[in-house]
Amino acid sequence: MSERIATVSRDTQETRIRVSVNLDGSGKLNCETGVPFLDHMLDQVARHGLIDLDIHAEGDLHIDDHHTVEDLGITLGQAFDQAIGDKRGIYRYGHAYVPLDEALSRVVVDFSGRPGLFMDVAFTRAAIGRLDTQLFQEFFQGFVNHARVTLHIDNLKGENAHHQAETIFKAFGRALRMAVAPDPRMAGQMPSTKGSL
């Protein structure tokens, strides 16, 4: 399997974003988004997904965090789509349950080529720090649209919104790690009866 890395830039009147991804990394994160709690969540994805991420974002944070968070999801999705290549020889599907104290989340991903987000999360607070919890949906919607994956996110239990979010992002990282991993029994084969994804 060839090196699975990609770098994508997105420049708009609202944001300037650069994302580099190494799917076969060791969990290193270099991240400056201007949204501290999002940086913390992206660290969970890198660490638990064993994916190296280099992310730099400048956005119109003087308005709010919406454009930066959404565009980061878009750009990260584009980088994953490029890095994964034609998907030959990968597991394709990934899933994880992750607890943190009272909170428990399940994330399931399919590198199907068909974008779809199914998110069932009732955050107990409207904001974590200054980050509007509604923006997590925007982040993941941007990701699935551009990574071309089906993603199910369910927070099964949780009273603390920080714990809810952290279990989601840790499970997201673990599910990605499983899905993109090389499957020795599928070496060189497309993980689909269609012959393409």
Extents of the domains making up the chain: 5-180
Task: Indicate whether this model's pTM tops 0.95.
Answer: yes
Give 52's strand partners.
22
Polymer length in residues for the chain: 197
Pairing of the two strands 116-120 and 15-22: unpaired
Instruction: Tokens for 76, please give them.
Output: 């990260």
d(CA 84, CA 9): 17
pLDDT in tens, 51-69: 999 999 999 999 999 999 9
pLDDT in tens, 185-196: 988 899 999 888
Tokens 């090196």 belong to: 3
Tokens 């990968």 belong to: 90
For domain 5-180, the CATH superfamily is Imidazole glycerol phosphate dehydratase; domain 1 (3.30.230.40)
pLDDT in tens, 74-122: 999 999 999 999 999 999 999 999 999 999 999 999 999 999 999 999 9
